[in-house]
Amino acid sequence: MAESLLITGASQLLTLRGSGPRRGSSLSHLDLIEDGALLVRDGVISAVGTRGQVEALPGARSAEKLDLGGRVALPGFVDSHTHLVHAASRAEEYELKIQGASYEEIARKGGGILNSVKKLRAATAEELKKRANVALHQFAAHGTTTVEAKSGYGLDVASELKILKLHKELEAEQQPEIVSTFLGAHVVPEEFRKKADGAKRYIQLLEENLLPAVAERKLAEFCDVFCDRGAFNVQESKRVLQTGRQWGLAPRMHAEQLSRTGATRLAVLLRAASCDHLEHVNASDIRALAKSNTVATLLPGCDFHLGLKKYAPARGLIDGGAFVALATDYNPGTSPTLSMPMILSLACTQLRMTPAEAIAAATINAAYALRREKRIGSLEVGKQADLAVFEVADYREIPYYFGVNHCWMTLKRGRVIHAAQDSRN
């Protein structure tokens, strides 16, 4: 028999129904229903409307009931950029950075990404899984129901596969949904740096060994490249992404974070699903993005954690007509947060996005950045019942409060994956 669930008592139900991903002035359209309700069948939404409308439907009476008690409900957050699997924090570098060392100085001393690589290679799959599981519970506890996860701290065949296999295992355990991305081109690993043509040889390893191994085992959906000063240049990035595409992996990119390299232009040219960071984009990059379907994913947690003054030009991107999404960039070096509400707070105060724009960027547009906009990111008939419920009276209070978690309940495919203490009795 089909399992039905009737959800009522949402003082504000933010559906984000309608036109799919949003650009320009439509980014602020939330399609809010007061006293909203949902009917869910086998984890899929079968009706959305006011309480009166939904309760009157056949099937509503016999359904199991969930009363949200006047709280605010919205689609579960889609975190479209994380480095989920890593071995340890880099708190020691945090202290060095506060004392004035730059990200690149730390990288030159063997810190930075290479520090995480060393620790990941030494860690067992069990240790990594335990840490990732703790993180996934926290993602769910902050209202996130889908998490993109990148490899890129392994940088050799065995270690990259160790990470990507964990993505699969964690996905099977039905917490937040995981979308797996291969980021073999994160940086050139230590053992290749000592060689004169190290970058070239590492790219060869990517093309001849790593990408085939990942694709044959179907361990990733996307291929990502860190295209920036100190990582890979535009030509190298293009080669890796094109090879990835030949293996069936759709491209996405880290672009213009530390400097402007032309990565955004490449992302648009390759029809990448997203290009992420974008602190250093210029007006012509914005125009190119506005004409494309490549999502501009902004990661303000990174600039906040590094104490940088220069955030991505969100207003220019939105007003110019680009698809804009928000993500945590959860990672141990530059953005150790898994709180999407905190990212919304930063988007409002630092990127000058309105609360409505920030919510759309973290749900439907982020779903589009993962090419899942037909299944998640809004509350509409036929979509997964992925829901975040907040202990607030008005949706604007979600970014308004910061540093506190007001997520009361999170549902994935109609199943509760997080419940605050007071909702359990």
Q: How many angstroms separate the CA atoms of 385 and 43, rounded?
A: 6
For Zn ion, the closer of residues 329 and 373 by Cβ is: 329
Q: Name the minimum Å distance from CB 128 to Zn ion.
A: 18
Rule CB under 5 A: which of 27-66 touch Zn ion? Answer: none
What residues pair up with 146 in beta bridges, in sequence order? 78, 177
Name which of 160 and 329 has its Cβ closer to Zn ion.
329
Give the integer Cα–Cα distance in Å for 163 and 120: 9
| Closest residue to bound Zn ion by CB | 329
Coil, helix or strand at residue 134:
helix
Q: Is 62 left (phi over 0), alpha (psi -120 to 50) or beta?
A: alpha
Q: How far is the CB of 44 from Zn ion (least distance, A)?
A: 32
Cα distances from 308 to residues 86, 229, 302, 318, 333, in angstroms, run: 24, 17, 8, 22, 14
Name the residue nearer to Zn ion (CB basis): 301 or 313: 301
**Which is nearer to Zn ion, 299 or 387 (by Cβ)?**
299
Residues contacting Zn ion: total by CB under 5 A: 1
Kindly state the tokens that stand for 412: 């994935």
Among candidate residues 272, 226, 237, the one with its CA nearest the CA of residue 116: 226
Q: Which is nearer to Zn ion, 16 or 249 (CB)?
A: 249
**Residue 225 CB, nearest distance to Zn ion (Å)?**
11
Q: How far is the CB of 337 from Zn ion (least distance, A)?
A: 13
Contacts to Zn ion from residues 321-350, by CB under 5 A = 329
At closest approach, how far in Å is the CB of 60 from Zn ion? 44
Nearest Cα neighbor of 234 from 205, 190, 208, 272 is 272
Helices and strands of the chain, counted as H and E runs: 18, 15
**Residue with Cβ nearer Zn ion (40 or 340):** 340
For the bound state, the minimum distance from the C-beta of residue 331 to Zn ion, rounded and expressed in Å, comes to 6
Per the CB < 8 A criterion, the answer to whether 252 and 220 are in contact is no
Smallest CA-to-CA distance from 63 within 105, 8, 6 is with: 6
347/392 with CB nearer Zn ion: 347
Least Cβ distance, residue 300 to Zn ion (angstroms): 13
412: closest CA among 80, 83, 47, 147?
A: 147
Q: Which is nearer to Zn ion, 156 or 329 (CB)?
A: 329
Minimum distance, C-beta of residue 152 to Zn ion, in the bound complex (Å): 8
Give the helix/strand (H/E) hosting 254. strand 250-255
- Name the site residues for Zn ion (rule: CB under 5 A): 329
